Amino acid sequence: MARDRLKDIGAGSHQTVVEMEGLMDTSAPSLDSFYDEVNRMKDDIESARRSVLSIEEMQRLGAVGLDKPADREQLERLSNMTQDQLRGLRDRIKQMILQTQRLAKTQPRDAQLRRNQQAYLLESIQEVTRNFHIANQTAQDKYKEQLGRQYRIVRPDATDAEVAEAVERGDGAFSREILASRLGQQQQNLEEVKSRQAQLKQIFTAITELAKLLEDMQEMIDAQQ
């Protein structure tokens, strides 16, 4: 499923963040061209929506330990590509709004038609971004719980505060505890912990960026009202 989503994004994203950088053309296209772009953006929003659903499923499997290292790499790639896609959508709707603002001075009726479409696009992008943000927050909580359980295997006498501190630190102390234990499969346990800690860092970065995207989207929505 995730492999297909990666292909979908690569083929279906009509305009990337890289293409948008430095290209804020505020001259309004014709109404036909405008609606063509609206339809392309709707397709890309739907693509992002499907990606978020795939990510949620992969994170769910990871939270119960049913994923593999290759799955985690694929999840990271899909997450990064989906973030790029949402950034691109934000930049495209921003450009569209600027074009409409300029058009409103000479063609107010045309501009209002465009604003109606922009409002729908803004809300749709915001919804997908919010769902992605929530999915990452949920995964973060689940992965922390999983690391906490692993720590208790190594330190069954640890207090709740000690477990929470070990999970939040994300440093070498947790790894040293595993190596110092007399449990079997130490190396496997160590690799599992390192992998989960890396995932938590990636998720934290995603949550921070998605929060900024949500803030940007809300500002644009407020400005349209």
- pLDDT computed for residue 22 by the predictor: 44
Provide the whole-model pTM: 0.80
Tell me, which fold does domain 2-14+23-224 have in CATH? Methane Monooxygenase Hydroxylase; Chain G, domain 1 (1.20.58)
pLDDT higher than threshold 60 for residue 9: no
User: Which tens digits make up the pLDDT trace of 15-57?
Assistant: 444 444 444 555 778 999 999 999 999 999 999 999 999 999 9
Residue 212 to residue 86: CA distance in whole angstroms: 12
- pLDDT computed for residue 175 by the predictor: 60
Lowest mean pLDDT: which of 59-68, 86-95, 186-195? 186-195
42 close to 121: Cβ distance less than 8 angstroms: yes
73 close to 198: Cβ distance less than 8 angstroms: no
Q: Where along the chain do its domains lie?
A: 2-14+23-224
Cα end-to-end distance, the chain, whole Å: 39
User: How far from 60 is each of 130, 140, 168, CA to CA, in Å?
Assistant: 18, 11, 21
pLDDT higher than threshold 60 for residue 7: no
